[in-house]
Amino acid sequence: MKFKKIYLPKWVAWFILILFIPILISIEYEAFFGNEPNLLMGIVFAFVFLSIITMIFIVSYKRIPYLIIGE
């Protein structure tokens, strides 16, 4: 059995970056400087968003496949 590795195209990583950075900035601003600051939620959201961005870049730049198909 031969395995085929499937990766994301590189444009997906940059699209996710363009999409997630403004969302992350607005969430972090609200978490740290909003009416009711909640520092723990700001840290959790930052960790989650940065982890997602990192994983997308790793898959897009062909370090880890996101799908393996057995032929």
pTM of the model: 0.82
Two tokens, residue 39: 């520092």
Residue 45 has pLDDT above 90, yes or no: yes
Q: Which helix (H) or strand (E) holds 36?
A: none
Q: For residues 41 and 32, give the distance between their C-alpha atoms in angstroms, rounded to a whole number.
A: 9
Looking at every residue in the chain, the average pLDDT score rounds to: 92
pLDDT single digits (tens) 28-41: 999 999 888 889 99
Residue 18 has pLDDT above 90, yes or no: yes
Task: Give the pLDDT band of residue 48 (cuts 50, 70, 90).
Answer: very high
Domain regions of the chain by residue span: 3-70
